[in-house]
Amino acid sequence: MQSLKISLKVKEQILSKENMKLDRNTYKFTDKGNLGNIALVVGIVGLAASAVGYIQDSHQFYFSYLVAFFFWISVALGALFFNLLHHLTRASWSTAIRKLTESMMSVIPFMFVLIIPVLLGMHELYHWTHEDVVATDLVLQQKAPYLNIPFFIIRVVFYFAVWSILTFALIKNSARQDIKHEDSILARMRKYSAPGMMLFAFTLTFASFDWLMSLEPHWFSTIFGVYIFCGVFISMLAFTIIMVRYQNGQGAFDGIVTVEHRHTLGKLLFAFTIMWAYMGFSQYLLIWYANLPEETFWYLQRWEGSWRTLSIILPIAHFGLPFVALLPQAAKRNGNWLLMMAFYMLLMRYMDLYWIAMPTHSPEGINYSWMDISTMAGIGGIFIWLFWRKYTSGAAVPVNDPGLKVSMEYVN
């Protein structure tokens, strides 16, 4: 307990170092702070270290990279979902953090560059790409019309095209609104959001099938996409809470984003922690009950060696603990506690992805590598740098949005 207090105090000191300033009239940054520069350095160092790792052990590199890539694109995709939802429901409370979430999703087109290593490493990651394996495997032969290299690449391009078009459409209109507000701009964003939401659901589902589920091409679970979606939204919410809290700590966000917004973000985080467990359990229950070998092997694989420990810890740590820790209202309104829970949920999210992807790489047990950390730092650094660059380039809030005043005065 004492050490927790000390670590919170240290965190508080880092946060309260005022190095970021916001002009109160235009809401533009007069001092952008040093987060972007730190992130860029971490990103470059991380990617360089990972490149060294690639020479050492390319198999480990590709798996580490895939987990790290999916972890970070989750934050951006969650932000895309959040924006679509914001416009679709004409939400007013989230207007004050709209620029923040827009900046998070603005990284999506850049992630297309960062997925290239995954495409280069397909042969190491996905064993359905091995022609000799497919030749002796009846199931893979029948799945070949879907699981083949050209179609896989076409789909990757398609997913990024859909996500990027939606992102551009929303950000472009948001920029137009900054110059001069017209009601038609919000109406147009709403119009994009309805089909956008459906496209998002389809593309995210199939992207999770392609990138994660096809690591074990024999296994199938139709709920897998929803399960991944819950994680995607959790990542985004946790990241947003951290970013909001960071700016609150800097004094830049006072009176704009308050405890009320953080409370609501905390409620959503709590809700989607439950939804994650609901989906994860639904997937498990049906497979456990039917007990069919072509489905159960996926869980049996995660019951081998030290994976077993992780399989037991995951539901408790990803659902049980946060359920209790986020249940009371006071927990969601306490800034430091919520910040800690947001970091914790990001860690859990990483653990979940690791648990999904890594048993294919090391079936005998957990084999944690330094490349897992370096790829996370590399992609994460670049992600935060791009996000921060976009965010600090304009106003921190949509200044001309008629919902802004309502949002700033928002009470739960």
Partner 1 sequence: MKLVKKIDRVILAEFGSPKELLKAAEKMRQEGYKEFDCHSPFHIHGMDAAMGLKRSPLGYIVFAFATMGLLGALGLQYWTSAVDYPLVISGKPFFSGPAFVPVVFALTILTAAITAVVGMIAINRLPRLRHPLFSSDRFGKFSDGSFFISVESSDKKYNEAHTAGFLKTIGGQNIEILKDE
Q: Provide the minimum distance between the beta carbon of 285 and partner 1 in the complex, in angstroms, as a whole number.
A: 5
Separation CA 83–CA 167 (nearest Å): 9
Residue number, 148 or 296, with CB nearest to partner 1: 296
Residue number, 157 or 324, with CB nearest to partner 1: 324
Q: Provide the minimum distance between the beta carbon of 292 and partner 1 in the complex, in angstroms, as a whole number.
A: 12
Residue number, 109 or 315, with CB nearest to partner 1: 315
Separation CA 378–CA 59 (nearest Å): 18
Residue number, 136 or 291, with CB nearest to partner 1: 291
What radius of gyration do the chain's Cα atoms show?
A: 22
Residue number, 34 or 412, with CB nearest to partner 1: 412
Q: Which long-range contacts (CB under 8 A, 24 or more apart) does 213-217 make?
A: 214/126, 214/128, 214/147, 215/125, 215/126, 215/356, 215/357, 215/360, 216/298, 216/301, 216/360, 217/126, 217/127, 217/128, 217/139, 217/140, 217/143, 217/147
Residue number, 288 or 368, with CB nearest to partner 1: 288
Task: Give per-residue burial for 253-282: e unless 16+ CB within 10 Å, then b.
Answer: beebbbebbbbbbbebbbebbebbbbbbee
Q: What is the DSSP-derived secondary structure letter of residue 89?
A: T
User: Which residues does 261 contact at the CB level (< 8 Å), separation at least 6?
Assistant: 93, 94, 96, 97, 244, 407, 410
381: its two tokens: 């650094």
Q: Provide the minimum distance between the beta carbon of 410 and partner 1 in the complex, in angstroms, as a whole number.
A: 9
Q: In the chain, what is the straight-line distance between the N-terminal and C-terminal CA atoms, in Å?
A: 31
Q: Provide the minimum distance between the beta carbon of 260 and partner 1 in the complex, in angstroms, as a whole number.
A: 11
Asked whether 67 and 358 are in contact (CB, 8 A), the reply is yes
Q: Which amino acid does the sequence have at 257?
A: V
Q: Provide the minimum distance between the beta carbon of 411 and partner 1 in the complex, in angstroms, as a whole number.
A: 5
Residue number, 161 or 327, with CB nearest to partner 1: 327
The closest of 159, 211, 140, 218 to 357, measured between CA atoms, is 211
Q: Provide the minimum distance between the beta carbon of 288 and partner 1 in the complex, in angstroms, as a whole number.
A: 5
HSE of 305, CA atoms in CB hemisphere, 13 A: 10
Question: Three-class SS of residue 188?
Answer: helix
Q: Provide the minimum distance between the beta carbon of 325 and partner 1 in the complex, in angstroms, as a whole number.
A: 14
399: its two tokens: 């200044």
Q: Provide the minimum distance between the beta carbon of 362 and partner 1 in the complex, in angstroms, as a whole number.
A: 27
Q: Provide the minimum distance between the beta carbon of 7 and partner 1 in the complex, in angstroms, as a whole number.
A: 30
Binding site for partner 1 (CB under 8 A): 281, 284-285, 288-289, 291, 327, 329, 411
Residue number, 55 or 411, with CB nearest to partner 1: 411
Residue number, 146 or 323, with CB nearest to partner 1: 323
